[in-house]
A and B are shown apart, each in its own frame.
Chain A
């Protein structure tokens, strides 16, 4: 079974600074997808960024980028120029590639990100 570990229960960063959230995972598969989701107090999960395991290039979405280290099974999220609206719970998630999307996501326990004004 796959596991996803987020070792930082809470992180705090000054507005406009850069913060990195850590995620490690364990799988025996070679084909899979990794995601970072944001969950504000409204509870709705919002996709921040995704990475296909077969792609060596790290995904980037505006101020959000990942550092994907496949051999180390590490998938960290970097948020640049942090904004007050970035404050939320952030979840790392794994999806096997062979299930055609039929398998549910496996989530970590989350990191609570606090933005200091």
Chain B
């Protein structure tokens, strides 16, 4: 596709419900990142994939958060037993590879846990 696509744009979940957020990176992009952006804050790093390998998951806030990228393209961020503090915008970014390549962001998924 022309850009990074995320779905859904908005998600309302009841506390305790499981959710899955999808990211379609730009075709051919090796690197994929997930960020969490709380209201009024800057994005915070969650996890990084290089192709299908999850090389860094140090930013995942708890074991309720799980991310995968099984074929090295589409990625899914899953949150189990959602809590109110999980309410945030979840941003996905992709890049070709390397620190000197630009990261392109999607429009994010706004998750509201009620």
Q: Interface size (B, Cβ < 8 Å)?
A: 31
Report the Cα distance A91→B105, complex, angstroms: 13
Interface flag for A102 (CB, 8 Å): yes
Surface stretch bound by A, among B61-69, B72-80, B95-103: B95-103
A33 and B102 in contact (CB under 8 A), knowing A42-B107, A43-B108, A91-B42?
Answer: no
Q: Are B100 and A109 in contact (CB under 8 A)?
A: no
A43 and B89 in contact (CB under 8 A), knowing A101-B100, A102-B50, A104-B35?
Answer: yes
A79 to B: closest C-beta gap in Å: 19
Interface flag for A95 (CB, 8 Å): yes
| Residues of A contacting B97 in the complex (Cβ-Cβ under 8 angstroms) | 100-101
Which interface class (under 10, 10 to 19, 20 to 34, 35 or more) fits A? 20 to 34
Binding site for A on B (CB under 8 A): 31, 33, 35, 40-46, 48, 50, 55-56, 59, 89, 91, 93, 95, 97-103, 105-108, 110
Q: List 5 A-B contacts (CB under 8 A).
A: A45-B105, A47-B103, A104-B35, A104-B45, A108-B42
Binding site for B on A (CB under 8 A): 4, 33, 42-47, 50, 52, 91, 93, 95-97, 99-110
